[in-house]
Structures are given as C-alpha cells and as structure tokens.
Amino acid sequence: MPALHYQQQTLYLDDVALPSIAHQFTTPCFVYSKRTLLQAWQAYRDAFAGQDALICYAMKANSNLSLLKLLVDAGAGMDIVSGGELERALLAGCPPERIVFSGVGKTVTEMHRALEVGIHCFNVESSAELDRLSAVATRMGKTAAVSLRINPDVDAGTHPYISTGLKGNKFGIAHAEALATYRKAASLPGLQVVGIDCHIGSQLTELSPFIDALDRLLSLVDQLAAEGIVLQHVDMGGGIGICYDAETPPPVRDYAQAIAERLAGRGLKLVLEPGRAIVGNAGVLLTRVEFLKQGETKNFAIVDAAMNDLIRPALYEGWHQVLPVEQQEGLPERVYDVVGPVCESADFLAQDRTLAIRAGDLLAIGSAGAYGMAMSSNYNSRVRAAEILVDGDRVQLIRQRETLAQMLACEQACLPEAG
Ligand SMILES: Cc1ncc(COP(=O)(O)O)c(C=O)c1O
Ligand SMILES: N[C@@H](CCCC[NH3+])C(=O)O
C-alpha cells in the first residue's frame, strides 16, 4: 500500500485519514509518514551495506528533532551547515564522530563548538577557511579533521538555483586550485587532511554527473597520493533526486554499484550526505481552501498555506502534486492556480491544475517533506505550521504550531517599557 492512498474517496497517509489530522491539529500542517521515512533511509543503508560508508543525512532538508532522532536511532550520521544544526544533531543523540560540517561560511564560534564536541570532519570550502580553522584548532590544542570540497565543474543538469558544482557557483575550491590548497592544508598546524568532497547540486535524476564528478575527484586523490598526501575518504555530497511528478530517478542500488566499482581496491571510505531522498516523499503539506476566486484569465483556489510554508514553487518553480483530500462527485472540474494569502504574486503552491473542489475542502500538497518546513519563514507575520508524524494508525505531534506570542517574543522583549 503506498503511503498516500484513497480509501472510499478519502485520502489516507498510511492508516490515518487526513481529515482527522486537519480536525485535530488544524491547517496548514506538515504530515510525515514514519514508514516512508525509514524505508527511504533503509534503501540507502542497504544499497551501501557492502561498502565502508558513513551516510550522513543532510538535515537542512528537514531538521525536525523527532525525525532526526528516528534517523539517528536507525544509524544515520548527520551533515550539518551551522551551529544550530550541530546542536540539533547532538540533541537528537547523534554521536559527534558521525557528523560532517559543510558550508562556505563557518564562524569561529561554530568551529570552536564542533572541535569541542569532536565531529568527524570539516568540509572546508576555501583557503581562508583553512586559515581560520587552523587558528581555532591550534588555540584549542586540537586537531581538526579536514576534507576539501572541490568544485568539479560538472553540469548537474538541475535548476540553476540548486546547481552547486559549476565554476560560477560560490561553493567549493576550484578544481584547478585543488592541489595547491591541499598542500597548504597539509602544511598548516592543527589540521589533519583526511578527505575530499563535492556536492554538485540537488534533485539530480541521472547518475552520469555524479560519476563524472567522482572520476574527477579520484584523479585528484591519485595526484595527491603521489605527493604523499594520502586521503582516507571521499564524500560525494547529496543524494539522488526524487519523483515529484514524472521524474524517473535511478535506483540508489545502481548508484552504489557505480561507486563500488570505482572505489574497489582503493581503501577509501565513502561518505554521503543525502537529504531530499530520505525525507522528500515522506511528507505532505495539508491545507484548506479558504475561497475560490474567478479572475479575468484564471481561477484561483486560495488556501491557508502559503509560500512562507513551502517556498519551492516560488523560488525554483518546484512542482508539487495537489490532491483533494476528499474526492467529491458531481463537482465541475476547473483549472486552478493554488495560491496562498501572502502579498506576493509568486505566492503559489501550484499552477494550472485541474481540480474538482469547493471552498472549505482540504488539499494535500505532495512531496513536501524536504525543504518545506525547513525553509519556512514568518513572512507576512504568519506563524510556522505544526508538524505531525503518522506511524501506522498512530498520530504524534512532533512540532507545535508556533503561537503569535512566540513569534512576537524576540521583538516584544526589545520594546521600551510603556509609560
Ligand atoms: C553540501 C551539501 N550536502 C548535501 C546536500 C543535500 O542534498 P540533497 O537534498 O539533494 O540530497 C546539500 C544540498 O543541496 C548540500 O549543499
Ligand atoms: N532547497 C532546495 C535544494 C537546495 C539544497 C541545499 N543546497 C530545494 O528545495 O530544492
């Protein structure tokens, strides 16, 4: 049984009817399937079981503590990009030696904390970052394990805003600079060079760009070894893309096999940082239609979720499935833009969808588990949505809806006393 399915015209996530969730928790809210989340994790774990692999879930995709804990308990490491994410990983019980720290702008404070707890590795993205990390580690009397993120200049064929491995992107160290930067890293105090990494983009639905990038990294590994800089691991960054619509991403087993063939006999450990592939299809955004409105050239379904809850359509023209939660018979089908209440024309969740709906109906926005809640904001002073986990027929609140008081607290605390 697929996680999302209709039973007598009502949409269920696993064994839970979605109207009951809306009734209990109101909308908008994110609803996740524990079974789908863990299946996606296990697919990665099983595919790489024969290799010496550390799979670090990229929590930027969804950093809900309860979901992190489920993944940590299932054996996941964590890929983090900030001090905040580090604290989340630790709160979820992730052993520090299973944490890798990515990102172009790590602060002194973040480096200090990561060294203090003893993370597995820093994925360093520039020569200036090497200097800073060396200084922080030396001051603390520690040694920082370092991997250099190399920008392999491979076209990932994904949306330009989520492509990261091209020359024009801010990420990583240029391929041409790689050897010189490794020499520098090897010479600095407080650092131990252990790996090489890349991340060429997100939502890749073909293997060839990953493989091209790996081949470029391995050629560097060989050149470094010839100079006496022997690496222990190669980190291939994020996971394979997911199916939002009609995409046909390759099975992770094929990816694992292609990597295994290339790493055979090299004695290199593998690190991976999948995010979207683990959590993307485990979640839906549940929303209610407030009004139907006929514009001059378009019909609008105005819903209570908005771009502040799910920004992917506005930001990258991300396509998400829209499913009526209760299918109605006898209603006319119309083509709608599904839009939110935010004052932006880009505030749409879907465009040009044929739906048979009425005001008051519930809609489920599909594949909203990754980069949904994690990218949400308070724009238009909207509170952040609740998050709910479904486990078979059980329902668990895993994040309360933010209250207005919570949203206002940081500013209210700065207001001068009345009087
Ligand atoms: C360095 C790094 N690792 C991992 C990821 C996770 O990528 P994905 O969600 O596509 O698996 C990202 C995001 O694109 C990233 O920037
Ligand atoms: N946030 C993006 C992916 C970029 C991930 C971070 N490098 C998305 O929703 O597709």
Question: Which are the catalytic amino acids?
Answer: 343
pLDDT value for 66: 98
CA of 199, nearest ligand number: 1
What is the position in ligand 1's atom list of the atom closest to the CA of 81?
Answer: 1
Cα of 200 to ligand 1 centre, how many Å? 9
pLDDT value for 158: 66
Contact 259, 214 (CB under 8 A): yes
Paired tokens of 165: 């491995």
Rounded Cα–Cα distance for residues 8 and 326 (Å): 9
CA distances to 59, 69, 389 from 64, in Å: 8, 9, 11
Contact 336, 344 (CB under 8 A): no
Handedness of CA 342, 316, 103, 398 (dihedral sign): positive
Average pLDDT in the 146-159 region?
A: 84
Count helices and strands in the chain by DSSP H and E runs: 12, 21
Determine whether the annotation assigns residue 416 to a binding site.
Answer: no
Q: CB within 6 Å of ligand 2 — which residues?
A: 60, 162, 202-203, 312, 316, 371
Paired tokens of 48: 């790489």
For residue 326, the tally of other CB atoms under 10 A from its CB is 17
Mutation to probe ligand 2, out of 123, 125, 162 (largest number of atoms < 8 A from CB): 162
Spatial CA neighbour of 353 closest among 344, 368, 366, 370: 366
| Residue-wise pLDDT tens digits, 283-322 | 999 999 999 999 899 999 999 999 999 999 999 999 999 9
Determine whether the annotation assigns residue 35 to a binding site.
Answer: no
160 band by pLDDT with thresholds 50, 70 and 90:
low
Spatial CA neighbour of 317 closest among 157, 160, 201: 160
Render 98-127 in DSSP notation, one character per residue.
GEEE--S---HHHHHHHHHHT-SEEEE-SH
ipTM surpassing 0.95, yes or no? yes
With residue 222 as reference, give the H or E element that holds it: helix 208-226
| Residue-wise pLDDT tens digits, 367-388 | 999 999 999 999 999 999 999 9
Q: What are the structural domains, with CATH classification, of the chain?
A: 4-32+280-411 (2.40.37.10), 103-272 (3.20.20.10)
